[in-house]
């Protein structure tokens, strides 16, 4: 299948500003419209490996990033995220267009794809076993995820753990990893050939840059993984590395707290999550040094 990298920059911009660029990320196809250079730059830098579809193919999400129109086109230009004619968010400065696309695509999945129990968590896999890292922003989840996927783990997602209720496996959506503030430099130092989008400052989350997903993870986007570990990460400057087992009941509630659609899923959501918790070993994980964290993850034994 053709990938986005097969398009020249001119062709890429032409698709984005006319019929839309159809990109497949994991189970989802998005049709992206945008005349904005920032969006073309981000896609050009980070989406080269992803499958490309023809203009008349089926798309799950029809999204656009456009100027709101009026005078704001010239004076402090802004950008709107548009989901097929609806504007779910307030406009942002035009410079924030690419992060807005990433947030918007996450939002599309988390508000629509109720075939899955969806948890706000990073997911990485090794040897068919997946580690789920649910956590609120600021816990160092994405930093840890970015480091792991550049040290032998496969990226399933940086933001969305999608549990398939029928068999309890995790379905990948490998997309760029969102890093904030100091984490950007930490990962730049830690990953020799890291490819980043242009950092955008003064967003609601501070400075944001997206790290390209490893090509091998994108190529294996159709391979599901079995949940094996649930790890609640917590970065604390200067903290000693510690991995503490936690009881299942408390793991259950803490994961449910991070779910996007637990209540929508009703009984099915409960059963799916209960089965996942039963099959996983759950831990609290405190860290400050990435190398030590990598060693702890490398030593994780699959639960029987």
Partner 1 sequence: MKRLPILVRLLRDPDRAASLSLAEWDLALRQSTSTNLSPTLLALLEERGLLDAVPAQPRAHLEWVRALATRHRQAVRFEVECIQAALVKEAAPLLLLKGAAYAMAGLRAGAGRLFGDIDILVPKTRLDQVESALMLHGWAGTGHDAYDQRYYRQWMHELPPMQHVRRRTSIDVHHAILPETAPVRPDPDKLRAAAVPIEGMPGLATLAPCDMVLHSAVHLFFDGEFDKGLRDLLDLHRMLQEFGGRPGFWDALPGRARELQLGRPLFYALRYSRRLLGTRVPDEVLDAVAPLGPGLPLRMLMDGLFGRALLPMHTSCDDAFSAAARFILYVRGNWLRMPPRLLARHLFHKAFISKKTEIKK
In the bound state with partner 1, the residue whose beta carbon lies nearer, of 182 and 268, is: 268
In the bound state with partner 1, the residue whose beta carbon lies nearer, of 114 and 226, is: 114
By CB under 8 A, residue 88 contacts partner 1 = no
In this chain, which of 56, 90, 193, 301 binds partner 1, going by CB under 8 A? 56
Task: Evaluate whether 98 touches 196 at the Cβ level (below 8 Å).
Answer: no
Among the listed ranges 111-119, 136-144, 150-158, 276-284, the one in contact with partner 1 (CB under 8 A) is 111-119
Minimum distance of partner 1 from residue 30's CB (angstroms): 12
Among the listed ranges 37-45, 72-80, 193-201, 257-265, the one in contact with partner 1 (CB under 8 A) is 257-265
In the bound state with partner 1, the residue whose beta carbon lies nearer, of 111 and 207, is: 111
Query: What are the structure tokens assigned to 75, written together?
Result: 């004076």
**Residue among 149, 153, 150 at smallest CA distance from 128:** 153
Minimum distance of partner 1 from residue 29's CB (angstroms): 8
What mask of x and - would describe binding to partner 1 in positions 159 to 198, judged by CB under 8 A?
----------------------------------------
In this chain, which of 3, 14, 29, 223 binds partner 1, going by CB under 8 A? 29
In the bound state with partner 1, the residue whose beta carbon lies nearer, of 247 and 267, is: 267
In the bound state with partner 1, the residue whose beta carbon lies nearer, of 56 and 90, is: 56
Among the listed ranges 11-19, 193-201, 223-231, 261-269, the one in contact with partner 1 (CB under 8 A) is 261-269
In the bound state with partner 1, the residue whose beta carbon lies nearer, of 85 and 238, is: 85
Minimum distance of partner 1 from residue 59's CB (angstroms): 6
What does the chain look like in DSSP terms, one character per residue? Answer: --BGGGS-HHHHHHHHHTT-EEEEETTEEEEEE---HHHHHHHHHH-TTSBEE-TTS--SEEEEEE---GGGGTSS-EEEEEETTB--S--EEGGGHHHHHHHHHHHHHHHH-TTSEEEEEEEEEETTEEEEEE--TTSSHHHHHHHHTTTTPEEEESSEEEE-TTT-PEEP---PEEEETHHHHHHHHHSTT--BPPPEEEETTEEEEEEPPPHHHHHTTT--BEEEEEEEEEE-TTPPPEEEE--HHHHHHHHHHTBSSHHHHHHHHHHHHHHHHHHSEEEEEEES-HHHHHHHHHTPPPP-
In this chain, which of 69, 85, 238, 247 binds partner 1, going by CB under 8 A? 85
In the bound state with partner 1, the residue whose beta carbon lies nearer, of 111 and 288, is: 111
Q: Which residues contact 86 (CB under 8 A, 6 or more apart)?
A: none
By CB under 8 A, residue 118 contacts partner 1 = no
**Binding residues for partner 1 (CB under 8 A):** 27, 29, 56-60, 62, 84-86, 112-115, 261, 263-266, 268
């Amino acid at each position: 299948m053709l990938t986005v990298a097969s398009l020249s920059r001119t062709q890429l911009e032409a698709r984005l500003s006319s019929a839309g660029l159809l990109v497949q990320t994991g189970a989802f196809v998005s049709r992206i419209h945008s005349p904005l250079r920032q969006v073309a730059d981000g896609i050009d830098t980070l989406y080269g490996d992803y499958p490309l579809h023809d203009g008349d193919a089926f798309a799950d999400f029809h999204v656009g990033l456009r100027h709101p129109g009026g005078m704001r086109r010239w004076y402090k230009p802004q950008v709107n995220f548009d989901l097929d004619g609806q504007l779910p968010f307030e406009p942002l400065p035009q410079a924030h267009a690419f992060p807005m696309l990433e947030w918007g695509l996450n939002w599309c999945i988390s508000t629509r794809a109720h075939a899955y129990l969806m948890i706000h968590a990073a997911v990485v896999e090794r040897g068919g076993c997946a580690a789920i890292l649910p956590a609120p922003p600021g816990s160092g989840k994405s930093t840890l995820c970015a480091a792991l996927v550049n040290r032998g783990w496969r990226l399933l997602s940086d933001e969305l753990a999608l549990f398939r209720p029928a068999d309890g496996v995790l379905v990948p959506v490998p997309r760029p990893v969102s890093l904030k503030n100091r984490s950007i430099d930490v990962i730049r130092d830690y990953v020799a050939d890291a490819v980043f989008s242009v950092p955008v400052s003064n967003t609601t989350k501070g400075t944001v840059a997206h790290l390209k997903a490893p090509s091998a993870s994108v190529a294996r986007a159709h391979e599901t993984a079995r949940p094996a570990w649930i790890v609640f990460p917590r970065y604390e400057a200067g903290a000693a590395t510690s991995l503490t087992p936690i009881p299942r009941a408390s793991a259950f509630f803490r994961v449910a707290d991070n779910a996007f659609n637990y209540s929508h899923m009703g009984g099915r959501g409960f059963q799916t999550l209960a089965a996942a918790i039963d099959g996983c070993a759950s831990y609290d994980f405190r860290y400050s040094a990435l190398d030590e964290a990598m060693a702890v993850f490398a030593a994780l034994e699959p639960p029987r």
